[in-house]
Structure 1
């Protein structure tokens, strides 16, 4: 049986990791690059449209390359899971991503696979890997046609 202190620590860790994941979406959507990059460890990795490692590469990718790909975007994450072992954690969270590129609205979904570590008393991403299930113009829907009844 785990002690009360261990159970409370687990709850605090889960809440802190939930806040880390939420801040990721908010800071990315707000394009607050310094605060966003600080969510990653110094050698942190993001893998998705490209694979980048470290704060300098993350800053270049997100502040320069991402805005070149899309005019605007919004991230919504739900259904997060996490397994915590001491100062390390891993988990998956579902992603809905809405964006505008060349005046066309897009809808997409996927998930992030996360590895997180506690450094200096704070949880950060050591790696975040995104997998997209689809990306489609909103007018067409993800199955290539509008929703039924439209």
Structure 2
């Protein structure tokens, strides 16, 4: 691997981490910053929309605001670099905890794959397209 390839792969991994932290902190500016403005996101695998980063933000906001906590993790990242960008496949595990008015917590967790295309810009790597691929889902005891 060349130094440029190593650098590209580190930058892409960093961007994936920034995406997770942006969702966890409900930092919508940081969320928008990981995508190209005209990116296409397909979250239909779990009943979400297919649309722009702004449309996904509008979808996520009331869901995340209604939860007691959520955590988004990405791992098992496979990056294929090309002259015009990169294709990336990663695993995500997303636990989401709701709290009843009585204080009882219940956690739903989902496992999925992200299939992404990335593009290098003058500001660094950005996600050009993202598709969720459902793997599994269930309630934690």
TM-score normalised by structure 1 residue count = 0.79
Answering whether residue 122 of structure 2 is matched by residue 120 of structure 1, we say: yes
SS of the residue corresponding to residue 82 of structure 1 reads strand
1:73 aligns with 70
Shift of 1:21: 0.6
SS of the residue corresponding to residue 55 of structure 2 reads helix
Larger RCO, structures 1/2 (Cα 8 Å, 6+ apart): 2
2:60 aligns with 62
Shift of 1:120: 1.3
1:41 aligns with 36
Q: Distance in 1 between matches of 2:2 and 2:21?
A: 29
Shift of 1:121: 4.1
More strand by share: 2
CA RMSD of aligned residues (A): 1.9
Q: Distance in 1 between matches of 2:20 and 2:54?
A: 20
Q: Which runs of no fewer than 5 residues in structure 2 stay unpaired? A: 101-105
Q: Distance in 1 between matches of 2:133 and 2:98?
A: 20
TM-score normalised by structure 2 residue count = 0.83
SS of the residue corresponding to residue 26 of structure 1 reads helix
Q: Which runs of no fewer than 5 residues in structure 1 stay unpaired? A: 1-5, 140-150
1:147 aligns with none
The number of aligned residues is 132
